[in-house]
């Protein structure tokens, strides 16, 4: 088999799942959205009819309603999305044991070992699409290729309910004309850097000298060169190959030492946002937070605490990390490095606090979930740098991110 790597993307996932429970929305302009009455009213997902009217994920509800006056809004039900994601992955596992989730609605599959029993990659893709549609009532788009990067490009190439093969024979024709932002891990910051040198398509990126890209962007430049030239060889990691994640943390070494509390706040917020985003991508919650500080004398101090409930929300991680940092930092001792780490990870949300009889905590959590889910959707579509929590730009510019 030549093309045995598949990327499966569930079409309009949130909106499609909601339609299963409320069929009256099937043939009308519909979107899943946050609280319409609050200032956090944001579009989380939309169906194809709303998409054709110009409705976009993560835009304010008022703006979407202006584009599409008859837009029907549906409250999100995240437990449903998690359940349908699980059922879809169970279907994929019938075709191969090498299934690697990338997000709630995306997975890579390695079907090289299934050819004798099920056919080539394209035929298996067709079978998966039919099975998901028949058993779950949902549609998926599937990219079929010889590596993970091109398989993902293939699933984005035609939607909805389509199979696209990106082979060694046609990949230059299909891939190189695409905008460089379509390539995996090319976010807003990378696009800006590349645009300064006239690189706007994947083909133009592929034509760059590898050494020049590495000088310009570090290891990421070398990685993007490989991706653009079809040289990705990363394996699809099945459940047996994936070690359980024990912690998720990020650290930042600053270009200049921090000496003011507002600078520390900015650094903690940046790191908390990154950690929370990664937790949501992995489908995990944390029950504890740790903060680390390295001062200008290279002394390292850390402090951690447990939470009264597990979370993957930036605001809750950030609030806890700030309390730890405030107790830990002996102002104005210069700070060279900050780190925030999520501990005690679980796959399900757990609560250890007393029930709030009025439900106010749950309401606030739902609103924050809506905000941060919308931010995830924006970043998935436009890159990591498209939106962030308020930070002091002059504090964090020029930083080096070191991922654990």
The catalytically annotated residue of 18, 59, 106, 263 is 106
β-strands 140-145, 163-166 pairing: parallel
Q: Is 79 a catalytic residue?
A: no
Q: The dihedral of CA 239, 243, 246, 247: what is its sign?
A: negative
Query: Phi/psi at 300 (nearest 5 deg)?
Result: -115, 130
The three state secondary structure string of the chain is CCCCEEEEEECCHHHHHHHHHCHHHCCCCEEEECCCCCCCCEEEEECHHHHHCCCCCCCEHHHHHHHCCCCEEECCCHHHHHHHHHHHHHHHCCCCCCEEEEECCEEEEECHHHHHHHCCHHHHHHHHHHHHHHHHCCCEEEEEECCHHHHHHHHHHCCCCCEEEECCCCHHHHHCCCEHHHCCCCCHHHHHHHHCCCCCEHHHHHCCCHHHHHHHHCHHHHHHHHHHCCCCCCCCCCHHHCCCCCCEEEEEEEEEEECCHHHHHHHHHHHHHHHHHHHHHHCCEEEEEEEEEEECCCCEEEEEEEEEEEECCHHHHHHHHHHHHHHHCCCCCCEEEEEEEEEEEECCCCECCCCCCCCHHHHHHHHHHHHHHHHHHHHHHHCHHHCCCCCCHHHHCCCEEEEC
Cα separation values, 274 from 224, 281, 330, 399, Å: 21, 11, 25, 14
Catalytically active residues are 106
């Amino acid at each position: 088999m030549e093309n045995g790597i598949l990327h499966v993307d569930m079409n309009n996932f949130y909106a499609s799942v909601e339609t299963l429970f409320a069929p009256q929305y099937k043939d009308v302009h519909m979107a899943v959205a946050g609280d319409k009455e609050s200032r956090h009213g944001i579009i989380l997902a939309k169906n194809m009819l709303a998409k054709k009217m110009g409705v976009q994920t993560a835009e304010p509800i008022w703006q979407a309603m202006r584009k599409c006056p008859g837009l029907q809004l549906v409250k999100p039900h995240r437990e449903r999305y998690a359940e349908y994601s699980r059922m879809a992955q169970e279907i994929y596992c019938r075709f191969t044991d090498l299934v690697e989730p990338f997000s709630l609605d995306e997975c890579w599959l390695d079907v090289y070992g299934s050819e004798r029993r099920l056919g080539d990659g394209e035929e298996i893709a067709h079978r998966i699409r039919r099975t998901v549609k028949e058993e779950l009532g949902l549609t998926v788009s599937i990219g079929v290729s010889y590596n993970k990067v091109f398989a993902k490009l293939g699933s984005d190439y035609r939607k909805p309910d389509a199979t696209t093969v990106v082979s060694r024979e046609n990949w230059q024709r299909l891939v190189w004309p695409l905008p460089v932002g379509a390539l995996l891990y090319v976010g807003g910051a990378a696009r800006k850097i590349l645009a300064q040198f006239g690189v706007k398509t994947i083909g133009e990126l592929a034509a760059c000298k590898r050494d020049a890209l590495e000088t310009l962007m570090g290891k990421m430049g070398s990685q993007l060169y490989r991706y653009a030239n079809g040289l990705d060889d990363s394996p699809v990691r099945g459940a047996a190959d994936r070690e359980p994640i024990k912690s998720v943390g990020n650290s930042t070494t600053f270009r200049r030492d921090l000496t003011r509390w507002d600078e520390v706040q900015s650094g903690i917020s940046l790191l908390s946002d990154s950690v929370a985003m990664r937790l949501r991508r992995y489908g995990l919650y944390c029950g504890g937070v740790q903060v680390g500080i390295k001062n200008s004398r290279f002394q390292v101090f850390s402090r951690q605490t447990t939470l009264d409930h597990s979370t993957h929300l930036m605001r809750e991680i950030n609030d806890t990390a700030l309390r730890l940092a405030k107790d830990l930092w002996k102002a104005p001792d210069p700070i060279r490095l900050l780190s925030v780490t999520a501990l005690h990870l679980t796959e399900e949300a757990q609560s250890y606090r007393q029930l709030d009889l009025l439900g106010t905590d749950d309401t606030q959590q739902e609103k924050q979930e809506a905000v941060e889910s919308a931010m995830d959707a924006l970043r998935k579509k436009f890159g990591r740098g498209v939106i962030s929590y308020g930070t002091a730009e002059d504090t964090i510019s020029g930083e080096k991110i070191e991922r654990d």
